Amino acid sequence: MSGILEGKRVLISGVLMESSIAFHAAKQAQEQGAEIILTAFPRPTLTERIARKLPKPTKVIELDVTNGEHLGRLADIVGEELGGLDGVVHSIGFAPQDALGGNFLNTPFESVATAMHVSAFSLKSLTMACLPLMQNGGSVVGLTFDASFAWPQYDWMGPAKAALEATSRYLARDLGKQNIRCNLISAGPLGSMAAKSIPGFDELAAVWDNRSPLEWDLKDPEPAGRGVVALLSDWFPKTTGEIIHVDGGLHAIGA
Domain boundaries along the sequence of the chain: 9-247
Please give the Cα distance from 14 to 5 (Å, whole number). Answer: 20
Verdict on whether the full-model pTM lies above 0.85:
yes
Cα dihedral 110, 98, 192, 251 sign: negative
Binding residues: 14, 20-21, 64-65, 92, 95, 161
Mean pLDDT, range 121-137, rounded to an integer: 98
Question: Fold for domain 9-247?
Answer: Rossmann fold (3.40.50)
| Cis peptide leading into residue 221 (ω within 30°) | no
pLDDT in tens, 173-197: 999 999 999 999 999 998 765 666 6
Confidence (pLDDT) at 201: 73
pLDDT in tens, 148-164: 999 888 999 999 999 99
Binding residues for substrate: 95
pLDDT in tens, 8-18: 999 999 999 99
Count other Cβ atoms within 10 Å, centred on residue 15.
29
Binding residues for NAD(+): 14, 20-21, 64-65, 92, 161
